[in-house]
Chains A and B, each alone.
Chain A
Amino acid sequence: SQQGEEDPQALSIQEGENATMNCSYKTSINNLQWYRQNSGRGLVHLILIRSNEREKHSGRLRVTLDTSKKSSSLLITASRAADTASYFCATDKQAGTALIFGKGTTLSVSS
């Protein structure tokens, strides 16, 4: 099962630019998390935002959550070539239940 969609599916930018990815989901959630995956590798946890939070920051990352629209966005500021990866949002309905992943956005940052 898949929770929702990421938008855009693919994004190409230059180093130093900002990258914004959006995620929509279908059901009520407990938390929403963003993960990064380099090609052929495992997942790296980036940030978690709780359903009662609206915005969260971590370094160059900014996540927003709009539960009324069932959507979230991930902003990566001042992007670097090393940010090139696939980014997935994932939600859980309640603590301890499975994370359901969105389809992902493939980000390519060129130097």
Chain B
Amino acid sequence: GAVVSQHPSRVICKSGTSVKIECRSLDFQATTMFWYRQFPKKSLMLMATSNEGSKATYEQGVEKDKFLINHASLTLSTLTVTSAHPEDSSFYICSASGHAVYGYTFGSGTRLTVV
């Protein structure tokens, strides 16, 4: 089946530092990747859509300078949370589309805690 590997699964960082989250499609080429954010006991909110080789499209209210998305290849997309603050603490999940059979494949998520 289609596999998307997301790393790290958990990260704790200090306020003001930056954190990079990687999302890799292991056995298919992901033409498009999506990044979601989930607060405790809430649903997934779409943050941005990225296509390989082009700039990401951000949803309304998402700061593109704070959440840097890079989709440099058909198998790798990264989300960098810059100058993290405690309010950025959340569960971040990536999703890749492009697999002919499975459509959308989700990473296992990253729990970010900013202290």
Q: Show the binding face of A for B, using Cβ within 8 Å.
A: 1-2, 31, 33, 40-43, 45, 48, 88, 92, 95-104, 106
Number of interface residues of B (CB under 8 A): 24
> Does the CB pair B46–A48 fall under 8 Å?
no
A84 shortest CB reach to chain B, Å: 14
Which of A42, A88, A95, A99 is in CB contact (< 8 Å) with B34? A99
The residue on B at minimum CB distance from A92 is: B104
> Does the CB pair A2–B108 fall under 8 Å?
no
List the 6 closest pairs (A to B, CB-CB), nearest first.
Answer: A42-B108, A101-B44, A42-B109, A43-B106, A101-B43, A103-B43
**Additional A-B contacts beyond A42-B107, A88-B43 (8; CB < 8 A):** A40-B111, A41-B108, A42-B106, A45-B104, A92-B104, A99-B34, A101-B36, A101-B45
Residues of B within 8 A of A48 (CB): 103
> Does the CB pair B93–A98 fall under 8 Å?
no
**What does DSSP make chain A's interface, helix, strand, loop or mixed?**
loop
- Interchain CA distance A96-B34 in the complex, whole Å: 10
> Does the CB pair B46–A41 fall under 8 Å?
no
Q: Show the binding face of B for A, using Cβ within 8 Å.
A: 31-32, 34, 36, 41-46, 49, 59-60, 91, 93, 95, 97, 103-104, 106-109, 111
> Does the CB pair B46–A88 fall under 8 Å?
no
> Does the CB pair B46–A1 fall under 8 Å?
yes
The residue on A at minimum CB distance from B57 is: A98
Residues of B within 8 A of A1 (CB): 45-46, 59-60
Instruction: Give me 17 A-to-B residue pairs in the complex whose CB atoms sit less than 8 angstroms apart, sorted by A's number.
Output: A1-B60, A40-B91, A40-B111, A42-B93, A42-B108, A43-B44, A43-B93, A43-B106, A45-B106, A88-B43, A88-B44, A96-B32, A99-B104, A101-B45, A102-B43, A103-B43, A104-B42
Which of B45, B103, B104, B109 is in CB contact (< 8 Å) with A41? B109
Residues of A within 8 A of B31 (CB): 96
* CB contact under 8 A between A100 and B46, given known A1-B59, A40-B111: yes
- Interchain CA distance A98-B32 in the complex, whole Å: 9
B31 shortest CB reach to chain A, Å: 7
B37 shortest CB reach to chain A, Å: 11
